[in-house]
Structure 1
């Protein structure tokens, strides 16, 4: 194999699907006996749906289209469960909403796509040992050893791959224990409801027509020692405990019954010291853990996989420059800062959600008022949670679009999201004479496009050529093609330094 992926959750499956679409030989090892049936990460933000658009599902539809057809669209998102919500309807995205869909459905759709493409996903195959040399990585499953040129560890917060690679996982110890459950309600709610008082907080969020996600924390479960947190997390969370917590905080238990998932959570905040060690890379929870606030974990993990897959595919296929493998445009350099920001924003939400005092209530009321006013606070928070504001570093003096995400621009044939592929750049030709049509190359595909206009597109007014990375970020933008050849060479020439 070119690449072995350890972990068959959504992040591992996403990485494998993108690698396969780029022509890389890949297989997945998952310790569980089959796909998960738990909801867990049930929130899909706009940027994640955008990157899922580049993959075809088993039935030929784009995976984002399959998910949207099966999920529940909500026009806004919460920050720290504050009463006033972030409005997604004005976002410059083909998916201006939050999609609620149980994680098991996302996992099933990705697994079906891999099965249709004959990509091996080995269930009941627990990796017990990992070693690497200058030329390969080897994993032991049972008594058998398997080798590949590279390894992706998408095996969760307690990642064996991370430990075997000697990668540190620094951060803060947990000091609280929350709860989460997917249940049926005898007294259903039509839309999300949030409760906060001195007894604790609870969120009640409809996922499907029959299933509701309930999560929260009791005030007495804050300020614990890390030892106490781990002891509490090891204890099963039960339906009677959930009902008692709902009654204490909400004044009623909604007639919750028939749980399909019951779990405890903590507010540990960590991220890997590096996302790459030799031929081993980390993605998803193996690379970062945090308070589950705003439904960001799964989304950031899937976006990790998107950033990593095309770069690793280029390295496998021999056209990746050093800058893209371990330089300023490398996977670690671009995605580890995103994890740092993720841990920071969930810590801020932790303070807003879990300061159960009159002062905490006043802080929530003030911050919620900032959101209600709209403007810069609302815009920035919506950009962070949706993933649309993520941008990567660009050289000094570069065009302001470079490093930012490209919106779903209309092209002469189709739209940007639907022509993105993980094995090539898109060269967008905004000139009126189509003068760039002859520049198609092995890793560059030219598309004529009308000049972008409309609200939010002001930064494009002087752009006549743009080079879009396989993950949808802008590698080059300029008023003329003068520096275009150097830009293409910088991104696709192996010996570029």
Structure 2
């Protein structure tokens, strides 16, 4: 839904810069998850360097007149009942709210006094963007029970992303992991690791990026305290696997943006601020699932013994068979399985992601707006037009030919593309819309 500033959507810009891959690995297993049958306009992995994604989003902000400053370290934070003051780049600035999206070592999180509990790291991995003199497959995974594992992914521009772990670097004391992770990862270490694991370094050269990784898994104790909120790696860290961290971080931002906008403009009901549909209530469980998923992949990738080899064969076989197991894994890894709990007695569609259904003129995803709800009118006579407002767009369409959608005639879609309300008739619809778009009182921000 986000425009790039030049008439295209950000999604269109990213698609033009990345490469589309129809399948993806889980825990570097030999058999891959197939995305081609997923119910989405984008049934693939978009392989694109993170710096490109950051650049595109930064350009979209600047096109809207939003300044972006770099090298502005946060060194102070103060909160009052109606404002936040933050010292950044040596200058104190005031705002109504502050979002800490400043990474795993978030200065905002620390300054706000938010704990970051979780599991300590016990292995040290590596990641690098390089060039190779020898050809490799698009996906290439090398798992060596005695030496470790190394994987190769081809990025746009013929850059190769290499990541892996030496077997000797698994099961380390947390203090040693932290000490070594603070040290630079050298090109010599990379070539030595590849030879030990793969038997060759594939003629690796021209490193553009070299770094160490770990498997620490942490989640912020709170996503909000007063007027300070956390998103992305500032709220959750985990073993980097499958691009899930970036995806979940972007989903954090999309979930938060429209809710915070409603709060800023005084039209947010309490449920959107600190209640059952609030940012923390919906997104922290997603982080729990993310950390659990990457922990499972950690075990499959880094158990370097005969039992680990047998476990990998077993799970890879399940994926190769396809069916419900492989589909569910693909839905989870892609993020399409994310759903938010609805109230008791709600229609089963409530809280699920809306597919890109065909409407009278365009599709649902093309009609979404970041500051509006979308009311889908499936009545034969298009009788719901009178429920449109400044914050609700109404669009008519034929009843979708999807089993879960056949009994609905009215569906209210949130600005982030999830179903807020679904029903077989318009009964109670006006009240449902009001419950999402009108304040029940002027809430005072609080923790939680």
Is the CA contact 2:72–2:90 (under 8 Å) kept in the aligned structure 1?
no
Cα displacement (A) at 1:187: 1.1
| Aligned mates of 1:247, 1:413 — CA distance in 2 | 57
DSSP 3-state at the match of 2:283:
helix
* Misfit runs of 4+, over 4 Å: none
DSSP 3-state at the match of 1:183:
strand
Please give the TM-score of this superposition, normalised by the length of structure 1: 0.87
Cα displacement (A) at 1:399: 0.7
Please give the TM-score of this superposition, normalised by the length of structure 2: 0.97
| Aligned mates of 2:16, 2:67 — CA distance in 1 | 27
Query: Is residue 280 of structure 1 aligned with residue 219 of structure 2?
Result: no
Q: Name the structure 2 match of 1:465.
A: 410
Cα displacement (A) at 1:118: 1.0
Query: Is residue 309 of structure 1 aligned with residue 257 of structure 2?
Result: yes
| Aligned mates of 2:90, 2:305 — CA distance in 1 | 56
1:54-203 equivalences in 2 (<5 Å): 54-198=1-145, 199-203=147-151
Cα displacement (A) at 1:347: 0.6
Q: Name the structure 2 match of 1:370.
A: 318
Is the CA contact 2:2–2:370 (under 8 Å) kept in the aligned structure 1?
no
Name which of 245, 266, 270 aligns with 2:214: 266
Cα displacement (A) at 1:142: 4.4
- The count of aligned residue pairs is 441
Q: Name the structure 1 match of 2:439.
A: 494
Cα displacement (A) at 1:208: 1.5
- Mean Cα deviation higher: 392-401 or 301-310: 392-401
DSSP 3-state at the match of 1:215:
strand
DSSP 3-state at the match of 1:219:
strand
Name which of 297, 320, 340 aligns with 2:245: 297
DSSP 3-state at the match of 2:69:
strand
Structure 2: runs of 5+ lacking an equivalent: 444-448
| Higher RCO (CA-CA < 8 Å; seq separation 6+) | 1
- Mean Cα deviation higher: 108-117 or 287-296: 108-117
1:214-293 equivalences in 2 (<5 Å): 214-293=162-241
CA RMSD in angstroms comes to 1.1
**Cα offsets for 1:378-410 (capped at 9, x unmatched):** 111111110000000111221100000001111
- Mean Cα deviation higher: 351-360 or 372-381: 372-381
Cα displacement (A) at 1:341: 0.6
Structure 1: runs of 5+ lacking an equivalent: 1-53
